[in-house]
């Protein structure tokens, strides 16, 4: 009986991990061009990365609307909106949630920056930020700081949602100084 359970457990692990490994793509690195995209925002209107040429872009991927860590991270970005605007920067959040989910999240939490719906997961995958566990897909918590020319200048592969906004602001300040 124990052998059967161990065999079933091994099969389950393989079934979950193989799609995960196959879905992984490496993250674009600092110095590379930011992959372009067009996605709908919480208002339903299309947003294209090229629309922000001439501005700094904080492109952050997050797992799920209305979850504790994602809400905290979004609130911090919201509070810091004037500081980002003063640095000629916009914040764009991306998850695999729907436009309707983003709309409800923004309404409930008072968010006024763009949240983009990547329901297919293709943009998250392009940025090496998609996890697929069987039928469940979600974006990993990664951030890309993109300069006004469209080049990635900083990659955050490990993010603490409690202090990430101020961390990105500090990096932006340093990059703009030097």
- Residues recognised as catalytic: 70
Distance of alpha carbon 111 from alpha carbon 21, whole angstroms: 34
- Run of H or E residues at 143: strand 142-146
User: How distant, in Å, are the alpha carbons of 4, 25, 104 from that of 136?
Assistant: 26, 17, 21
72 close to 161: Cβ distance less than 8 angstroms: yes
Helix (DSSP H) and strand (DSSP E) numbers for the chain: 6, 9
CA distance 113 to 12: 40
């Amino acid at each position: 009986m124990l052998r059967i359970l161990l065999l079933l457990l091994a099969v389950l692990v393989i079934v979950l991990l193989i799609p995960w490994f196959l879905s992984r793509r490496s993250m674009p690195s600092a110095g590379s061009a930011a992959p372009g995209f067009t996605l709908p925002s919480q208002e339903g209107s299309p947003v294209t990365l090229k629309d922000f040429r001439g501005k700094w872009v904080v492109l952050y991927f997050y797992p799920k609307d209305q979850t504790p860590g994602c809400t905290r991270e979004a609130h911090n970005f919201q509070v810091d909106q004037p500081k980002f605007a003063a640095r000629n920067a916009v914040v764009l959040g991306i998850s695999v949630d729907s436009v309707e989910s983003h709309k409800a999240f923004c309404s409930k939490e008072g968010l006024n920056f763009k949240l983009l719906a990547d329901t297919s997961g293709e943009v998250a995958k392009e940025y090496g930020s998609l996890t697929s566990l069987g039928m469940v897909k979600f974006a990993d918590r990664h951030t890309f700081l993109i300069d006004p020319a469209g080049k990635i200048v900083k990659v955050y592969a490990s993010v603490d949602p409690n202090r990430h906004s101020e961390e990105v602001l500090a990096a932006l300040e340093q990059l703009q100084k030097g």
